[in-house]
Amino acid sequence: MSLSRAPRAALLTGLVAVGALTLSACGGGGGAKSGGGGDTNFVTDTGGISTAAKGKRTAPNKLSGETLEGKPLDVADLKGKVVVMNVWGSWCPPCRAEAPHFAKVAEETKAKGVEFVGINTRDANKGPAIAFETDYKISYPSLYDPMGKLIVNGFPKGSLNPQSIPSTIVLDREGKIAARSLKALDDEELHKIIDPLIAEK
């Protein structure tokens, strides 16, 4: 029995989208970058970290699914907290470099109302990704997104969206996209992004 045209077309669309993301996979990157055409309402500093002013932020689309541990997770349920979302893969050297910093800052900021959520992508099976979390003592959950559907569909066009692996997106307490990094981060850079959002009233 052959596949119908509709599922094949959907699969092809997904593969093309993931392929586009693959082009910038595991890229570092400093300098100013645009996140889309026209008036984007966000500023990028020379360190590759973009921020949106409080009144200019947009909400992400639906970001939910199953974690690497097989539990359901919906990022919308974390509204009221600052949410740090890190796009990563176990195969990605910059992701391995930043992982200890993410584990450390997640523990340091939890009591201040910050939740970390990973988005694991392009790991064909969960084994290597779960081993990665164990090796780097990652205590927070990661949504399992092997085909990159959450990455492609979870963020509005023209918003501060992930464009490389690793990428980090930070949501404010209202659940809106406040900051983005398109490079691996250390603990100091993470605090630079997170601490002003913790302080926001």
pLDDT the model gives residue 158: 86
Contact by Cβ (8 Å): 164, 152: no
**Three-state DSSP class for residue 53:** coil
Contact by Cβ (8 Å): 166, 183: yes
Per-residue confidence at 25, pLDDT binned at 50, 70, 90?
low
Per-residue pLDDT reduced to its tens digit, 174-192:
999 999 999 999 999 999 9
Q: Which tops the pLDDT comparison, 84 or 26?
A: 84
Mean pLDDT value across residues 31-41: 39
Contact by Cβ (8 Å): 21, 140: no
CA distance 165 to 195: 23
Per-residue confidence at 47, pLDDT binned at 50, 70, 90?
low
Per-residue confidence at 130, pLDDT binned at 50, 70, 90?
very high
Inform me whether the pLDDT recorded for 30 exceeds 50.
no
CA distance 137 to 100: 8
pLDDT the model gives residue 201: 79
pLDDT the model gives residue 10: 44
Contact by Cβ (8 Å): 81, 119: no
Between vectors from CA 42 to CA 41 and to CA 46, what angle results, nearest 5°? 150
Q: Which of 141, 124, 150 is CA-nearest to residue 64? A: 150
For residue 72, list its beta bridge partners.
66
Mean pLDDT value across residues 11-40: 43
Contact by Cβ (8 Å): 21, 163: yes
Per-residue pLDDT reduced to its tens digit, 63-88:
999 999 999 999 999 999 999 999 99
Mean pLDDT value across residues 125-153: 97
Quote the percentage of the chain above a pLDDT of 90: 73
Q: Which tops the pLDDT comparison, 94 or 20?
A: 94
